[in-house]
Amino acid sequence: MIRERFDRDGWAPVAGLLTPREVEALRSASDELAAKGAHLQADAEIDGARYQVQTASGRRGETAVAPGALRKITFASSASVEVALLRNDRRVLKLIESVGVTSPRWIVDQINLKAPRIGTGFPWHQDAAFVAWQQRDAIAKYGGANLVIALDRADEVNGGFEVLSGTHAGGAVNFDYDTSNTNGGVFDESRRTLIPLDPGDAVVFHPQLAHGSGPNTSLLQRRLVALWFIGGPVITPPLRSGKKL
């Protein structure tokens, strides 16, 4: 069922991937990471994690709207055990395998904070455009899949996650990634779908599926963890010693 939807639409919902307790642990981890960046006015690396500050337009390289206002923390797993455990979690890896990715290998993780009132949206884009060509090759050969997991309720009120169903099938599209616009008209928007998520719910999607989200103009938090995986050759376990051929 998940595989069918992934192949047809480029994405599939996964309700309750994480337990409430796990969500709580990740929220605390996210708060601890954010606290380390509470002084930041500009993008910076702390303990191997890359902090991107929240600017008024959402563009990189501008000054934060306030000290410590954060848009995202990429490679949060470098500085957080909870996120590092998630990228090796058996349920997560099984899910990625279930959509046809062989020997899945993690390549990226991030926490998107999209803070209340100030969090800007994400223009329509395909994640595959942001990976190295070797990784794009691996996706073409062995498959790839990305995952977002909600740490808060995310819906139309606070800039919920949106997809353009079916766009994975059209291949790579050239687009600019200017976070101050929405990239309207670049992709086929006829099957635009906002996917309401409760904490712990996830969406698994193809690296070439166009997706994005609106700003968070509400007073509610909207934190998401994103994980990206690529496939590799199938590894055949060696025959046990002593076994006759």
Provide the binding-site residues for ligand AKG, judged by CB under 6 A.
Answer: 112, 114, 122, 127, 161, 211-213, 224, 226
Residue 148 falls in which region: left (phi positive, over 0), alpha (psi -120 to 50) or beta: beta
Minimum distance from residue 200 beta carbon to ligand AKG (Å): 16
Minimum distance from residue 111 beta carbon to ligand AKG (Å): 9
Minimum distance from residue 214 beta carbon to ligand AKG (Å): 8
Q: Name which of 102 and 192 has its Cβ closer to ligand AKG.
A: 192
Q: Name which of 65 and 209 has its Cβ closer to ligand AKG.
A: 209
Q: Name which of 102 and 157 has its Cβ closer to ligand AKG.
A: 157
Q: Name which of 22 and 127 has its Cβ closer to ligand AKG.
A: 127
Closest-CB residue for ligand AKG? Answer: 213
Residue type (1 letter), 96: I
Strand segments (E) across the chain:
11-14, 44-46, 49-53, 70-74, 105-112, 122-125, 144-150, 161-164, 192-194, 202-205, 211-213, 224-230
Minimum distance from residue 113 beta carbon to ligand AKG (Å): 9
Minimum distance from residue 223 beta carbon to ligand AKG (Å): 9
Long-range contacts of residues 34-43, Cβ cutoff 8 Å, at least 24 apart:
34/68, 34/70, 34/73, 34/113, 36/79, 37/68, 37/70, 37/73, 38/67, 38/68, 39/67, 39/68, 40/64, 40/67, 40/68, 40/70, 41/67
Minimum distance from residue 146 beta carbon to ligand AKG (Å): 8
Chain mean position to CA 29: 17
d(CA 155, CA 91): 25
Q: Name which of 4 and 56 has its Cβ closer to ligand AKG.
A: 56
Q: Name which of 184 and 237 has its Cβ closer to ligand AKG.
A: 184
